Structure 1
Amino acid sequence: MDELNINDNLNISKNCQQEYPSLSSSFILQPCLNNCQQNEYVDYQLKAPLPISHIYEQEFFHSFHINYYGELEGEGLFLASLRSSRIKPNDIDKILSSSIPIKDNDQNKELLKAVIRTQYNNYYLSETINVKNEETILKCFIEKCQLSSIYHIEIVDHIKGNEKIVEFDKYNDNQLLNKIGFICQNSNQSNELEMLSKNEMSIEIENFLNIICEPIELKDLNKYDAHLDRKTNQDEIYSYFTIFKNHKIMFYVGSMISSDKNDQEFIQRINFISNTLLCIVFQQGNQISFQPDFFLENLTQVYITVQPIYINSQLYYKIEIWRRSDIEPLVDPPGGIFKHDKSFRNYFLTLILNTMNIILKKDFFYKHIVEQRYRLKNEYIIKLYQIFYSYSIFDLSILSNNNYNNDRQFKNLNKTRQTTSKYLQFMGKFIETFTNNRSKSISHR
């Protein structure tokens, strides 16, 4: 069975909304840790699930690599990809995420990259390893990820294995799409209808959006599934979208969402904005007072207000964070005053992603969003496991010069532990053979 039929609808249903106990919970204005302008670049730590489809497609898909599927003692089924490449000694420090000691007289230095996928997390690592002495390469990577021991492992020999894995990665990355509301508040506006009534954007708003994201045309766009009309542009002609450190972020800009002239309650706009867990409020004018109570009956858990100010004729943004009382404090990065420059993009998008990560820790959202992602991902892994296992045309004994005992008579997932060591030994031999053959090929050119 090669086809997958998995429901990818992760929207919170109306029934789930009725279960949610704290729609009316109070909001807290979180104190800014530093209310002075930030003049130094800070590389804030991103705390969010790792999307890997771009990594696999760019660094593995078009190069020789090996894919594996198997089972871990604790985490269950997993998929892994391993790639080896020769590197110069002077380049090691430039490209490694981490390293292990290598003897100076060892000329066979290889950079190995690995992508490991479990039901709950994705991992991306790179190491320098002496392939002549290494027979447990994948085991080393798994230990570095602090995962449990390998219970069973096999090589993916499906003729379209690479394509199926990249489809799997893209499917799961799409579930991580961040949908962020964005509205404007002008002076004397104190309810959602007034804020959603505008159909145009000011230059100040465009300047702000252009530094953190890019305008895109929705028609026929296949980068994401944000539930906007991509065929007829019925909802919007354009919207704003960005990819930051492989994370996709879609902005629902209130003034760009279509609204019928006879719709004085802006139902379409409210439907999009009120169902975002995080909403950006861009403030224009003097003496603007914001209260989350301006918005009624929505799922929004955090509002981030952005107010442009000028200091010594230079543009800055004052960032304030309103969160529901049952949401953990947001401290990294904090609110404050930040200069309008390229470093602001790194700060603000990190703030968005880290905030979304904290929101999803809340019991209700963890149950209805995160656990559903885990379930769908595991179902997909099981489907791939069945597809890869049933496809058996690749004789491993040929690759290992008949020194490998190709014993793959398995009927279920409870395989013997002896299989693990056999496949890891073969893996080391296979990479060593590949490296030696490649070196000979280069020397003959």
Structure 2
Amino acid sequence: SNTQCVHQYRVILWKKTGAQKISLSYSPNKPMTVKQILSNFPNMEKLEKGPKEIFSPEIQKDLLLLEEQEGSVNFKFGVLYTKPGQVTDDEMLSNEFGSTDFERFLSLLGDKIRLKGWDKYRGGLDVKGDMTGKYSVYTIYEGHEIMFHVSTLLPYSKDNKQQVERKRHIGNDIVNIVFVDGSPTEMTNFNPSSIKSQFTHVFAVVSYSSEDCSYRLVVYSEESVPLFGPSLPNPSYFRSPQEFREFLLVKLINGEKATFNTPIFAQKRERTLDMLIKDLCQEHMSDSNRAQTMLN
């Protein structure tokens, strides 16, 4: 039921192309069958058989996973710390620690959390055996859980110049924040093509100026990514840390959502959703069949 206490059917139909949602009025005198409800979706009018119903509570978790694939619930963003003069991703990923300015920026983004035993959104990080570092940075913004993959908090290897473990997470994030240490003039030295990733489509380059205690922001995105807001102010610096945080998080979220609309991502997402839906059906249909057999 909605806020006015008018009872409704609220329905989500999952297809490999994404989710379709409708609300239908509910009448206690004329309850609708699942088949009747589905007939309200486009191209579902001629459904011959009513779908099988699944009563397993586990399916709710799997449906939440599907929603995550839609890129509209929870987010994971890379955060790359770079020192003045560093130009390659290998150099940037090899910074074992960040500066005071970087630490201040991280505390603005979110809370430093202990990964072991973490029971909220984990963004692909290990929460059992510290395999992806002991700590991470996490926040909730407007109902969205966000996990930041922070380069200096991910495992560091003295022997591996490419820092594969760090690259594995940050390189697979659609959106990366690049924190450029030193004066804001260092920002001009950053070149998005120096980051070798087929997955990252948006770079938010951030710098902190200790002279006037302001944050500067420049955003780069792949040509295939549609324009996304909010528009950067001109000049793009922020005196209020909270205003900057708000602007940055909205920009990052919108950047990821815009990337999902590029042809390559649309195809990838379609394949992934198709696979997840099939797996989900297979698993829960066999579970319900087993339960039915036991009842008989």
| Identity between Structure 1 and Structure 2 (%) | 21
For residues 61 and 136 of structure 2, the distance between their equivalents in structure 1, rounded to whole angstroms, comes to 26
Q: For residue 217 of structure 2, what is the aligned residue in structure 1?
A: 319
Task: Confirm or deny: 8 A CA contact 1:185 1:283 kept in the other structure.
Answer: yes
For residues 116 and 86 of structure 2, the distance between their equivalents in structure 1, rounded to whole angstroms, comes to 33
Select 2:169's aligned residue among 272, 283, 296: 272
Query: Is residue 131 of structure 2 the alignment partner of residue 237 of structure 1?
Result: no
For residues 38 and 249 of structure 2, the distance between their equivalents in structure 1, rounded to whole angstroms, comes to 30
Deviation at 1:370, TM superposition (A): 3.8
Q: Assess, with a 3 A threshold, how the Cα gap between structure 1 residues 226 and 110 changes in structure 2: closer, same or farther.
A: closer
Q: For residue 371 of structure 1, what is the aligned residue in structure 2?
A: 271
Q: How far does the alpha carbon of each residue in 1:87-131 deviate from its partner, in whole angstroms, 9 at most, with x for none?
A: xxxxxxxx36xxxxxxxxxxxx6343624241244466667x573
TM-score normalised to the size of structure 1?
A: 0.52
Residue segments in structure 1 that go unaligned for 5+ positions in a row: 1-83, 86-94, 97-108, 394-445
Secondary structure of the residue aligned to 1:220 is coil
Residues 181-330 of structure 1 mapped to structure 2, 5 A cutoff:
181-224=78-121, 226-286=123-183, 287-288=185-186, 289=188, 290-296=190-196, 299-309=199-209, 315-325=213-223, 327-330=224-227
For residues 345 and 282 of structure 1, the distance between their equivalents in structure 2, rounded to whole angstroms, comes to 14
Residues 46-445 of structure 1 mapped to structure 2, 5 A cutoff:
84=1, 95=3, 110-112=6-8, 114-119=10-15, 120-122=17-19, 131=27, 135=31, 143=40, 148-149=44-45, 151=47, 152-153=49-50, 156=53, 161=55, 163-173=57-67, 175=69, 176=71, 178-224=75-121, 226-286=123-183, 287-288=185-186, 289=188, 290-296=190-196, 299-309=199-209, 315-325=213-223, 327-336=224-233, 337=236, 338=238, 340-342=240-242, 344-381=244-281, 383-384=283-284
Task: Confirm or deny: 8 A CA contact 2:206 2:217 kept in the other structure.
Answer: yes
- Higher RCO structure, 1 or 2 (CA under 8 Å, sep 6+): 1
Residue segments in structure 2 that go unaligned for 5+ positions in a row: none
Secondary structure of the residue aligned to 1:281 is strand
Deviation at 1:236, TM superposition (A): 0.7
For residues 298 and 110 of structure 1, the distance between their equivalents in structure 2, rounded to whole angstroms, comes to 48
Deviation at 1:320, TM superposition (A): 1.6
Q: How far does the alpha carbon of each residue in 1:14-49 deviate from its partner, in whole angstroms, 9 at most, with x for none?
A: xxxxxxxxxxxxxxxxxxxxxxxxxxxxxxxxxxxx
For residues 339 and 133 of structure 1, the distance between their equivalents in structure 2, rounded to whole angstroms, comes to 60
Q: Assess, with a 3 A threshold, how the Cα gap between structure 1 residues 183 and 134 changes in structure 2: closer, same or farther.
A: same
For residues 261 and 267 of structure 1, the distance between their equivalents in structure 2, rounded to whole angstroms, comes to 11
Task: Confirm or deny: 8 A CA contact 1:110 1:131 kept in the other structure.
Answer: no
Counterpart code for 1:317: Y
For residues 263 and 362 of structure 1, the distance between their equivalents in structure 2, rounded to whole angstroms, comes to 34
Deviation at 1:309, TM superposition (A): 4.5
Counterpart code for 2:180: Q
Counterpart code for 2:60: V
Q: Assess, with a 3 A threshold, how the Cα gap between structure 1 residues 320 and 147 changes in structure 2: closer, same or farther.
A: farther
Task: Confirm or deny: 8 A CA contact 2:121 2:146 kept in the other structure.
Answer: no
Deviation at 1:348, TM superposition (A): 2.6
Task: Confirm or deny: 8 A CA contact 1:240 1:252 kept in the other structure.
Answer: yes
For residues 235 and 382 of structure 1, the distance between their equivalents in structure 2, rounded to whole angstroms, comes to 32
Q: Assess, with a 3 A threshold, how the Cα gap between structure 1 residues 163 and 183 changes in structure 2: closer, same or farther.
A: same
Secondary structure of the residue aligned to 1:170 is helix
Secondary structure of the residue aligned to 2:152 is helix
Task: Confirm or deny: 8 A CA contact 1:304 1:319 kept in the other structure.
Answer: yes
TM-score normalised to the size of structure 2?
A: 0.73
Q: How far does the alpha carbon of each residue in 1:118-173 deviate from its partner, in whole angstroms, 9 at most, with x for none?
A: 1244466667x573566559868985x767437354684x6xx2513313223324
Q: Assess, with a 3 A threshold, how the Cα gap between structure 1 residues 346 and 115 changes in structure 2: closer, same or farther.
A: farther
Counterpart code for 2:262: K
Secondary structure of the residue aligned to 1:242 is strand
For residues 270 and 170 of structure 1, the distance between their equivalents in structure 2, rounded to whole angstroms, comes to 27
Counterpart code for 2:264: F
Q: How far does the alpha carbon of each residue in 1:386-422 deviate from its partner, in whole angstroms, 9 at most, with x for none?
A: 65578679xxxxxxxxxxxxxxxxxxxxxxxxxxxxx
For residues 155 and 283 of structure 2, the distance between their equivalents in structure 1, rounded to whole angstroms, comes to 40
Counterpart code for 1:330: L
Q: How far does the alpha carbon of each residue in 1:354-376 deviate from its partner, in whole angstroms, 9 at most, with x for none?
A: 22233233333333344222331
Secondary structure of the residue aligned to 2:117 is coil
For residues 328 and 264 of structure 1, the distance between their equivalents in structure 2, rounded to whole angstroms, comes to 31
